[in-house]
Structure 1
């Protein structure tokens, strides 16, 4: 899947929820926004373990339902090598 930058951008629509995750060794932090960059709620911190990822999925699904989003784009960038 080698998309150009314009092709990647065109995939983001009003129905897309965008979540950015700051990855760390023990605790991750996620933030949700819409296609225009407006933030939804507060940042969500979750531990780097199964229960944390399950809580993240629950948080993400609630935001999608609350804001009537049908598409999801998650981006993450590690802050170190673990």
Structure 2
């Protein structure tokens, strides 16, 4: 039981987004606060959202 709890806790990823008027920045960290990935210069557009979605999906494939 404890092994499964530890495994779930270690697989958590937190994504923070710094929203600005035009260009945004996103970072992903693990539960230990270690930087996993950064997405900089994310535009405020549908293309920017698609880039963000692709970035998140890549993190999911890599981590899990």
Q: What TM-score, normalized by structure 2, do the two folds share?
A: 0.78
Tell me, what secondary structure is at the counterpart of 2:10?
coil
Q: In structure 1, what is the Cα distance between the partners aligned to 2:53 and 2:9?
A: 21
Aligned to 2:53: 57
Give the CA deviation at 1:60: 0.8
**Residues 2-81 of structure 1 aligned to structure 2 (within 5 Å):** 13-41=9-37, 43-45=38-40, 46-68=42-64
Q: CA RMSD in A?
A: 1.5
Tell me, what secondary structure is at the counterpart of 1:32?
strand
Aligned to 2:4: none
Higher helix share: 2
Q: Bigger relative contact order, structure 1 or 2, given CA contacts below 8 A and separation 6+?
A: 1
- C-alpha offsets along residues 19-68 of structure 1, whole Å, 9 cap, x if unaligned? 00000000110000101101113x21210011101110100110111011
Q: Which runs of 5+ in 1 are unaligned?
A: 1-11, 69-82
Tell me, what secondary structure is at the counterpart of 1:31?
strand
